[in-house]
Chains A and B, each alone.
Chain A
């Protein structure tokens, strides 16, 4: 099952510079595992050690944000197109305070401070 995945500049070091790669899987989790097998380390930039989607990236299936499709459980079909973008966010508030303000979103674990790892 072929799924086209568009990779942002910041993650292309994992894909040998490729902007578009192919993967397989019937859920987002399966797709990310498949991608990580071919592009080692990519998973760590998409999923937190706690197993949630990283706040620093947005992942879309076709035209929809996966956070509205069940996040990592989102279903995929042959021919779907997945787009990964860096989340654009920030602001004057300190990170911990920002995380608290954003609240505990089940799909958006905010307690992620180790972006530099991996």
Chain B
């Protein structure tokens, strides 16, 4: 079941990635693959499973972007940091933890993208107030989506079928 859900999430993320990328202008900042990765991470307890998903999702995005390896490394690094935070500081299971870790994920994502782009291309992005606003808005939407889907999954699936992963 979880493999089916992972494939479905991957395909949905790919759909929205192309759809937003080509037609939705600023909606690409929603980062569909990051949302899919977070959802899978919060709802799975097998590190091999979500690390593999992070690798595949990253490689997929890298195939259509300028710096090969950027997203792969970023996604794996995000999972690594979130897992460490969960094992050390944010050990509780509530929705606030999910929201806080999602915020961390978005911050790490943009930080890595900026840093790796700067190191390997030697160019830097211009973070205008407008772009910051859009990033914050889309990150907010992303976190909201992750939180809602996580709650839905917990209430309608985990409670009835299995134990919550963390």
A binds B: no
Query: Which A residues form the contact surface with B (CB < 8 A)?
Result: none
